[in-house]
Structure formats: structure tokens, C-alpha cells
A and B are shown apart, each in its own frame.
Chain A
């Protein structure tokens, strides 16, 4: 394991390793850095993109609001 998450009193961490495999449309709309007006949601540094079977859906990543 590359890291150990800090203890969360009543909120168990989703897993001991941050090495998620990213799936889905990498440009799906999200809110980043305080506003929702960036061209794409931020992703984990170095995260993988979706396998083809899982990457064909999601909303286009155009300018978003709020």
C-alpha cells in the first residue's frame, strides 16, 4: 500500500489505497475549485481513464454553472 488514510471517527474510508481505477466519461460535468465553470472535472493525478465499455456515457464537458 502506498499510503494509509487518516482515521475518520464515524466515516470509514472507502479503501486503504487511493489507487482507484477511473471509469466513465472523463468529461462528465462536475464542480471544481469553488465554481462549476471549468472544462472538465479534476481527476486524480495519474488516474486511468475508462475502459472502452465504460467510457461511452456521461454528459459532455462544456462550460458549467455554479
Chain B
């Protein structure tokens, strides 16, 4: 079996384009893997905090956050929320900004590392994004995060213990430091086989083309 193509993704939970980009990446990978003689593709998510100054218990809506906390005009905020909601719908995501709980995401990132250590990172990432953007769940409070961990089959008590002890805080900080060293200031950001960088919620065809390019280069080296 050929060596997997590795895709490292820097991403935040509170990042609408990250969830949309995840769907587009998945579509690109699916198209690639549907072709004959393709190597497997391995995806690993890395932590990125877009807004570390966000309070865990911000009181207000997403629109309130952007207009007050980030000082953006409310009419511009309304337009933007409508725009991103429409784009999300195009990839099958039903964003609900009215019920969204704006919060700091560093604990959620620690949970992603906990899940990775238990072989469930991709499931946890999907669960957290859906909880945040679609279901209006609070992804900043530790008990609610532990609930979400349990919902994908992880041990709730152990997940809560891990979060309370900041067991994976150093791993989150290492991801953030790595992003800084790479000059990544926006997410989603994708790195293919450590060689190619892709920024933003690109079309599935773009991800497919990069996978094809990596495959072609491997074949050229092997021949």
C-alpha cells in the first residue's frame, strides 16, 4: 500500500469558512479517492485561535459580537452573516447564527487533541463544528465539551478530567506556535505533504488538483 498523502489543516471552531472549507476538502478528497490507484489521504487538524480575546461566556449574538466587540457596523454584519449562511447552505450546512454561542475556543482545541490521542480527532472536529454553527451548543464550557466528547463515544469523565487539567494545552500552544512560524494568520489553511499551502475555503477541484499534483510528483520521483 502506498504512503498516504498527508494534509495538515490549521483551523478554528469559531470559523465559518473552516467548516465550509472542511466540506469542500472532503469533496475534493472523495473525488480523488474515487479514481483508480490512488494513495490514501490522511487529514490532521491543528489548532488556531482566531479570537483569543473572546470571553468564554460572551453575552449576545454573533451579530452583537461583531458589531460591539469587533466594532463592525451592524448592517455590514447582517449582510455578512447572510452571505456566509448562503454559502454554507450550498455545501449542505445549515448555519444558525441566531442561536450561536460566541465563545473562546481554546478548550475545544484541547478536546480535539484529546480526541486525537484516542484516534477520534476527525469525528470530534465535525461534532464541534456542527455543535457550534448548526445546533447552538456552547463549545467553551468544559461540561458541555465533555458532553460532546461522550456523544462521539469518548469517556465523558476522562474528557472532563483532561480539560480541567489542561492536559493538552501545550499541544494547542505548539500548534499555534507552528502556525506563527509558518506565517499563517488566516484559516482554514491546508498544507499538502509539507510542500503545498492552500489558504481559504477553496473549491473541491482545487484540493483535488493538489492531490493529483502530489501524486504525479511521487510517481516522477519513483520512476
Count residues of A near B (Cβ-Cβ below 8 Å).
Answer: 50
B4 close to chain A: CB less than 8 A: no
B142 contacts partner chain A, Cβ-Cβ < 8 Å? no
Verify if B99 is at the interface (C-beta below 8 Å from A): no
Q: 1/0 contact trace for A1-43 toward B, CB 8 Å?
A: 0010111111101111110111111111111111111100111
B209 & A20 in contact (Cβ 8 Å cutoff) = no
A-side binding surface: helix, strand, loop or mixed?
loop
Q: How far is A7 from B83 in the complex, measured between Cα atoms in Å?
A: 40
A64 contact from B14, B83, B174, B181, Cβ within 8 A = B83
Give chain A nearest CB distance to B6 CB in angstroms.
7
**B46 beta carbon closer than 8 Å to chain A:** yes
- Given known A-B contacts A7-B174, A11-B46, A34-B70, A29 and B197 have beta carbons under 8 A apart: no
Asked if residues A65 and B83 are in contact (CB atoms below 8 Å), the reply is yes
Q: Of B16, B85, B177, which contacts A31 at CB under 8 A? A: B16
Contact A59 B200, beta carbon cutoff 8 Å? yes
Q: Are B210 and A23 in contact (CB under 8 A)?
A: yes
- Which one of A14, A23, A64, A65 contacts B194 once the chains associate, using CB atoms below 8 Å? A14
Q: How far is the CB of B55 from chain A (nearest CB, A)?
A: 13
Chain B residues lying within 8 Å of A44, measured Cβ to Cβ, are: 182-184, 197
